[in-house]
Amino acid sequence: MQSRFRNDRQLTVRMTVTLFLLGLLYVAFVAALIVLLKSWVLVVVIAAGVLIAQYWFSDRIALYAMHGRIVEREEHPQLHGVVDRLCAVADMPKPLVAVSDIDMPNAFATGRNADHAVLCVTTGLLRRLEPDELEGVLAHELSHVAHKDVAVITVASFLGVLAGLMVRFAFYSQLFGGRGNKDQNTAAVFLAVMTVSAAVYAISFMLIRALSRYRELAADRAAALLTGRPSALASALTKVTGDIGRIPTKDLRTAQAFNAFYFTPALGAQPGIANLFSTHPSLEQRLEQLARISAELGEAAVPDTSTPTPGEAL
């Protein structure tokens, strides 16, 4: 079913190209591993198992990792009410609604399609945002579901996960394979697996992050146009980014593995070249885009500050 979120052809093209390139990389990776490990059964079983787990159980994995739980309307009526209104306006199925009991202000959507999606917000986000700001964030997350880029990111990240698993498998096989097996041939195969896996991980890492940065801008655009209030989304972005920057790094480490799915990354400001490896565009880029949309819609000006003061997030 087609939702009322505005189509983004550039996003569709980028997702298609990314999946095509990763598909080619995947085929070459599996072929190389079969040659190196001399066991196509082992490679296929591992590859198929990881892909199935990521595609079918990505929502459960993400919720478990972030201590999220499905909540009913009686427990969070305001949250359900906002999701109901947005889904009605967007003409899309309502996802399951979940809450993560952590202070980091954030939200994410996951699931393989619109009929099997989960929208999760943290208690830290619910506590900090005004109703119109919360609506903007939830519209942003719902647009990810409507554009199907949540499923694409899930599948796209599969290759990097597989490469990482193969590095670990090769390492432990070499470490515990028995002294008699540690000859020159075994060492050569071990080095080859490590090299191929590292190269595949690096390439998939860059492709996924390039796609992720664009899809966040696309979700901002779609949410702003659906709600008609770009300034509310800009306010939420400024507030959430400022508050995340004040959360101790040790409390963000678990969350950082899921940055590609979050409304904003679980990181502080990343200046300079670090932005090239980020899953999200800079706050400045996002606010500039929302300001342009606000001008087009004739709305009041979007806040132009990208460095919130300590009092702004309260």
DSSP string, 77-116: HHHHHHHHHHHHHHT-PPPEEEEE--SS--EEEEESSGGG
Annotated binding site: 140, 144, 216
Question: How crowded is the C-beta side of 212, counted as CA atoms within 13 Å?
Answer: 26
- Please enumerate in sequence order all residues whose Cβ is within 8 A of that of 109, keeping only pairs 6 or more positions apart, or say none: 95, 117, 118, 119, 120, 141, 142, 144, 145, 150, 261
Q: Which two tokens stand for residue 55?
A: 């595609």
Active-site amino acid positions: 141
- List, as residue ranges, the binding site for Zn(2+): 140, 144, 216
DSSP label of 281: -
Tokens of 122: 């943290």
Q: What is the C-alpha separation between 33 and 93, in angstroms, rounded? A: 41
Strand arrangement, sheet containing 68-70: 68-70, 96-100, 117-122, 107-111
Both tokens of 289, joined, read 């885009």
How far apart are alpha carbons 259 and 267 in whole angstroms? Answer: 9
